[in-house]
Amino acid sequence: MAIKNGILNDVTFREARHIGERIVPELVVVHDTASRIENGKAADYLRDNAAKVSVHFVIEMDGTIEQQVPVDRRANHAGKSHYHGRSGCNHFSIGIELVNPGKLQAYGNSDQGVAWWGERFPAASGLIDAETQEHGAGRWMQYPSAQIAALIELLQTLFAQVPSLKDIRTHWYISPGRKIDTNPLFPLSHIRSLILGRDDPDDMADALSDEVSPGETVVINTHGDTLNMRRWPSFNPNVVGKIPDETILPVLRRGRFGHRDWLLVVYGGQEGWIVAAYADPVEENAAGFAMGVPEVQL
Ligand SMILES: [Zn+2]
């Protein structure tokens, strides 16, 4: 596939009604349509609607791709959103909608799923129950392999020919608490490592940090507040636990990310990252008990 004047040469282009100003895209945002799944239904709506929404690409469940906005023009796909401290992701992102019914409810005690508009889907359409912190509990439809293959081919084309692109995220990541697309079955880490050539940020953090000496512990020092423990060392929506003040924790790794020192610690049976400034070293006292020394920097 080649891109000329922001338009891919070998997919259908039907111009959206709502096309904004010129942009330099740095991010790809992947969405679900949360809509009926027949070919063309979601694409027709996205192309022309009174709600002023639009998107660059729609990928049907059979892998058919339609482009509706040139990649260097703004589409209205993300709404209120932020990415690494910047708000309004429409101004620097390309949106891709995957046709998918979104969150389904269980139909009674059956293995069928009911969509928000009342349509019922059989288990054979690829339904799986899953729950995550970002999505809550639900019944979800798997993305067909043809649809994922089309997405990967499109991403490879975009990242090869749009040099300003740097990252791939989902709508729930840039609009946490407000949006849950893509669904929990979306193979995000696989696609990120395939296209970006690196793994999930938590794996990356491991690779970029250093092991500490065995037995190193710290005591949380937050003057009474709890401290967020995070899946990887950044302030993105990735909190996996809240650690009470004065808790003593084993430290596994130490690294510097985003101009801050971070520690990988173990709390509540899981590993997570905390900002090192809120943890003080612990030294063993004469009796051999670990003692917090929050007022003294060793
Ligand atoms: Zn979305």
Are 55 and 91 contained in the same domain? yes
Query: Strand pairing partners for 120?
Result: 114
Domain end, chosen from 154, 180, 198, is at: 198
Region for residue 215 given its phi and psi (left: phi exceeds 0; alpha: psi -120 to 50; beta: otherwise): left
Are 252 and 274 contained in the same domain? yes
Average pLDDT of span 130-151: 92
Place of tokens 């690196």: 198
Distance separating alpha carbons of residues 238 and 230, to the nearest angstrom: 5
CA of 176 to the centre of ligand 1 (A): 11
CA of 293 to the centre of ligand 1 (A): 47
For the chain, the domain total comes to 2
Q: Is the pLDDT of residue 296 over 50?
A: no
CA of 170 to the centre of ligand 1 (A): 8
pLDDT, tens digit (0-9, with 9 covering 90-100), for 72-125: 999 999 999 999 888 999 999 999 999 999 999 999 999 999 999 999 999 999
Could you tell me whether strands 120-121 and 12-13 are parallel, antiparallel, or unpaired per DSSP bridges?
A: unpaired
Mean pLDDT of all residues belonging to the chain: 89
pTM: predicted TM-score of the whole model, two decimal places: 0.69
pLDDT, tens digit (0-9, with 9 covering 90-100), for 231-252: 888 887 678 889 999 999 999 8
Are 12 and 152 contained in the same domain? yes
297 domain residue, yes or no:
no
CA of 288 to the centre of ligand 1 (A): 54
Query: 216 is in which domain, residue-wise?
Result: 206-292
Apex 129 CA angle, 126 and 134, nearest 5 = 115
11 domain residue, yes or no:
yes
221 domain residue, yes or no:
yes
CA of 33 to the centre of ligand 1 (A): 7
Q: Is the pLDDT of residue 298 over 80?
A: no
